[in-house]
A and B are shown apart, each in its own frame.
Chain A
Amino acid sequence: MSKILKYELKRQIFNKFFIGLLAINGLYAWYTLTSDIIAGTAYTAPFSGWSFGTYLSTVMPIISLTILFMMSRYFSKKEKQVQVITSATPVDPIRFMLTRCTAITVGFILIITVLLIISAYFYISFFKYYNFTAFLLPIIYTLIPSYVFILGLGILAGRVHQGLFYVLMLVSLALCFVHISGAFDFFGRGYYNNYPITLPVSAGGEPAFSVSDKFLLARLAYLLLGLGMLTVSIQSVKRKARRDSLRI
């Protein structure tokens, strides 16, 4: 499987489109930091947990777009033609699917790493700020549930119809412009912008980074939903593999 993983990584990451998309993500991240985050979120410092959460939730739609773009390759017409051959190999289709998920996850981690490095450079160069441990919670709350949900939804949508990817891409793009507030805000931008205003300020004049239980539950729900969709996809692959083997 490691050979397949290497091949998938080479296919997904070592190509000009991924590098191009990585560059777009980087540029967008820098633009977000210097145009939006620099002003601070909800009257807090640009280097507060709230502002960093806003940064992540602002770049997340573009990251999702990139992830969907990567996934769309696995469900393209060409790929379906090749599937006739790959399904004839002795590779376990579930493990094959999970390997591909791993390749996409590696791509995601790579993008996130670049974006975190950019943000670190921004905070150091503009504010001489080094306390990056304060950003750990926003990273966990913002990135993981959204990513797992997008991954699950993408794989499920791809199995249903390839055209759904384009719908998801459009939705993701639209979320760059639409600001939803409340705990169930998928990327969390509206929440990070509005919730701190309702909190009491601490001695430093700013509310400490502490999300509500409702928001935590919503993030957990997105995470579980994503895992659930992945499980459904695995089950469907399992059923298909069984059907194919019965046919043979």
Chain B
Amino acid sequence: MKLFSLFRVELRRMFHSKICLSVAALSLFTPLFGYSLYIPSSNVVMSGKYLANPVLAGTAIGAVLFAVLAIIEADRTYRARINALIDSISSPVKMAMARILALIGFLTLTGLVCTIIYLPYTIIKLDYIFDFATYLASFFIIMIPTWWISTILAAALYQITRRIELSGLLYAGCVYLCYSPYFQKSYFTRWINPLIVTYSDGFSNAYTFRITLYTRILWLAIAGGVFVFSLTCIRRYQRNLIGSFWRGIRKVYIPIAAAVLVVAGALLWRGQPFVDHGPLEFDYNHMNATRLSSSSNSICYNVSFRITAKPISGTVHGIAQYTISSSNGISEDSFWLNPGYRILGLTYGSKKLDFRTLDNDVNGERQTVFTLPKAENQILTVEYEGFPALLRCFSPTGWGVEVSTEYVSLNNAYSVPCNTSFGLPGSSWLEITLPSKLTPIVEHKFVDKHTDNKDGTRTWKTEVQCSQYIWITACDYSVIPFTVAGINVDLVYSSKYDKNMRSYDIPNAIKSVFDYCTSHQGKIRFSDNRRMMLLQRNGSGGGNASDGWVEWDEPIFTSVNLSNPLKGANAAEVFAHEIIHEWWGGLGVECHGGDECWSSEGLTVYTTYRLMKEKYGELYSKQNYVDVWQSKVDAQNRGFYYRHPEYLEKLPERYQADLKIANTDTNLYCRMPLMILKAEKLVGGEEKMDKILRTIQENNSGNGYAKPFTYQDFLDACGLTKEELELE
């Protein structure tokens, strides 16, 4: 019989088989688990709660169900003892191929039915947030391909072992690996439970779908390769595994096809463009060392950047032009750019320059080195293009990178070459081409000038203060301007959050934080007296703040978060915390990382605690702040590697990174606030502490990193010594 005929017969049989129909029916119920029991993705965003989690639950549980079905179906002829009969009618290899194709067809139809069944409920629950493309992508990129992978893998394992329990055990082992802590943090190891930290209601899910589609193709290639290999292991002529294998590999094209598929999967894994190869922890030393550093003799007079975001491919094309005088022909110059970008050309005047891109990924940057020939006022042109790769250490959270039709976010080395060895002038010009419906914000300021390119894109032009980093974000934004404590504020958010912002009266909630901080800790000053920008961004939970701007991740303003009475102060904590950073971040309090405690986080967390104490009372603030800090510090003190740091170096890099990150977080967010609380008691109470903090604010606000406010300055202001603040 021909393969297609066999496939047709098998498929028809499956639609009459009780067990197949039962598995299909059960798999239709599996997304229900995602509404309450199986929550792998953030449940705070609406599309996470009503789409991502149900789909992920359906994906994982359905995949297991179809794997069981694949094993049962593969064993069917042996169980019924008709294998000899079937083998005499058609080739067992052809039969196995027909069976897997029929299973794939069967489960695809089941997936299609599942997509249709859950559509009305999802539309009702997501209301104006519902996006049909995201809905379809969730089922056709995440769920159905994972079911294919699982079914193919299970069938392959059965064909290799030809035992139900053994293939089941091996399959369970493969599933276990995906849920183990070792593999959980990687996008690429999770074949059955794709890593989706959060969906977005107001911005874009393009990056999530791109990386998930990539991993599905990768695992389909690997599972397909294992399946094709397993065809050589199908038992025939009553031989055992080895005998059948020797017989099976006589058809040379089978092992070759298997090898091609597995190698293709491995190459996809190795050459993935989504995550860089940097260290597992953020390198604060690199950040501090390269901040405004210039080591070359070359002098730069003028800079212009032209960036084009290509939302269909998710790539960026950029041209950076520096007018440079190079007085020395032997100095080696360099710049850092995202490792995902390829440098298309490097010219100085009309001369093409040789360059080397080093293998030194760190903090989402990679260094390119070149030598400038001696010349006056020539233009150094760097042309680059590529898919922005996430920092490895932040990759599970998908930190801050997106190029799609709905949202563009390109920060630091994702936007333009940075950390250039030659110093940059005070300002430069930036041109950025974006889809028409997106409004850009550059360096936390709106861009006024634009030209319509009549091709669905607009080019925006603005002058930027040329620090080594340029932050660009673009979305369909809404703005609420207001004034509080004499500060002009723009609250900027995705227009999809219009309803939430107004119904929960967010501006008033923000004003209350400003009022508290101004009255207790003094008035803040920004370095350039501009309007303050409070910006909502795509992200999974926290926020960020600096001189004159605050960024909040999307979940802080979701209905689920704002309407949850149990979360009360917790939701407000991140919300208030980032605003409070405006008071302490501007002091140039540096974050050293490692075991250092002193950073703006300590003062910010302490002030947040004080605000919550005033709002919710002493008991609440003690339970939710002081007790939490104390328990974390106690746990840190008891930790084996904290007591014996000499053993830390013996650990593999991943564990060292995990432990160091945990230690840093405890130091910054728990130990230091406890120390400041101790200082408060030693100086004579809250009022006296407020007075000290007001003085600090008045004397140091706006100094920035040029004259950072050190831990010793803090101790001097309090009239205390280091020893007095040591925790027992």
Q: Residues of A at under 8 Å CB distance from B?
A: 16-17, 20-21, 24, 28, 31, 34-36, 38-40, 43-46, 65, 69, 72, 126-127, 166, 169, 173, 176-177, 201, 205-206
Contact = CB atoms under 8 A, between A and B. Distances in A.
A40 B180 contact: no
A40 B169 contact: no
B165 A169 contact: yes
A35 B639 CA distance: 16
Contacts of B172: 173
Contacts of B120: none
Contacts of B163: 17
B169 A44 contact: no
Given A43-B635, A45-B640, A205-B638, A36 B181 contact: yes
B1 interface: no
B166 interface: yes
B640 A35 contact: no
A31 B176 CA distance: 12
Contacts of A16: 241
A17 B167 CA distance: 11
A166 B165 CA distance: 8
9 contacts: A16-B241, A20-B166, A24-B169, A24-B170, A34-B652, A40-B641, A43-B638, A45-B640, A69-B165
Contacts of B638: 43, 201, 205
Nearest to A66: B169
A126 B652 CA distance: 9
B173 interface: yes
Interface of B: 163, 165-166, 169-170, 172-173, 176, 179-182, 241, 635, 638-641, 643-644, 647, 650-652, 655, 659
A40 B165 CA distance: 34
B728 to A, nearest CB: 15
B364 to A, nearest CB: 27
B180 A127 contact: no
Given A43-B635, A126-B650, 12 more contacts: A17-B163, A17-B166, A35-B182, A38-B652, A40-B640, A46-B640, A69-B165, A69-B169, A127-B650, A169-B169, A201-B638, A205-B638
Contacts of B639: 40, 43
Contacts of A28: 173
Contacts of B643: 205
Nearest to A21: B169
Contacts of A205: 638, 643
Give the interface SS of chain B, mostly helix, strand, loop or mixed.
Answer: helix
A82 B172 CA distance: 31
A44 B651 CA distance: 16
Contacts of B647: 45, 127
A34 B651 CA distance: 9
A127 B649 CA distance: 10
Which A-B residue pairs are the 6 nearest by beta carbons? A43-B638, A40-B640, A35-B182, A45-B640, A205-B643, A43-B639
A68 to B, nearest CB: 9
A78 to B, nearest CB: 12
A28 B177 CA distance: 10
B651 A38 contact: yes
A167 to B, nearest CB: 12
Contacts of A38: 651-652, 655
A24 B173 contact: yes
Contacts of B241: 16
B695 to A, nearest CB: 41
Nearest to A205: B643
Nearest to B240: A16
B75 to A, nearest CB: 14
A33 B694 CA distance: 52
A242 B185 CA distance: 60
Contacts of B641: 39-40
B181 A35 contact: yes
Contacts of A206: 640
B655 A39 contact: yes
Residue among A69, A126, A205 with most chain B CB within 10 A:
A205
Contacts of B169: 21, 24, 65, 69, 169
Nearest to B172: A173
A195 to B, nearest CB: 15
Nearest to B241: A16
Nearest to B655: A38
Contacts of A24: 169-170, 173
Contacts of A166: 165
A36 B416 CA distance: 41
Given A35-B181, A69-B165, A166-B165, A45 B655 contact: no
Residue among B166, B635, B638, B644 with most chain A CB within 10 A:
B638
A58 to B, nearest CB: 11
Nearest to B658: A39
A53 B638 CA distance: 19
Nearest to A197: B638
B717 to A, nearest CB: 35
B648 to A, nearest CB: 11
A35 B659 CA distance: 13
A28 B166 CA distance: 16
B431 to A, nearest CB: 49
A63 B683 CA distance: 60
A45 B640 CA distance: 6
B180 A31 contact: yes
A166 B172 CA distance: 13
A180 B308 CA distance: 55
Contacts of A127: 647, 650
B171 to A, nearest CB: 11
A18 B601 CA distance: 55
A218 to B, nearest CB: 26
A179 to B, nearest CB: 13
Contacts of A21: 169
Contacts of B652: 34, 38
Contact of B176 (A17, A39, A44, A176): A176
Contacts of A36: 181
A176 B172 CA distance: 11
Contacts of B182: 31, 35
Contacts of B655: 38-39
Contact of A45 (B180, B181, B644): B644
Contacts of B635: 43
Contacts of B166: 17, 20, 69
A181 B172 CA distance: 24
Contacts of A177: 179
Contacts of A173: 172
Nearest to A65: B169
A123 to B, nearest CB: 11
Nearest to B173: A24
A56 to B, nearest CB: 18
A206 B181 CA distance: 25
B543 to A, nearest CB: 29
Contact of A43 (B179, B180, B181, B640): B640
A16 B241 CA distance: 10
A12 to B, nearest CB: 15
Nearest to A126: B650
A176 B173 CA distance: 11
Contacts of A45: 640, 644, 647
Nearest to A41: B640
Contacts of B644: 45
Nearest to A28: B173
B601 to A, nearest CB: 24
A47 to B, nearest CB: 10
Contacts of B180: 31, 35
A72 B165 contact: yes
Nearest to A176: B176
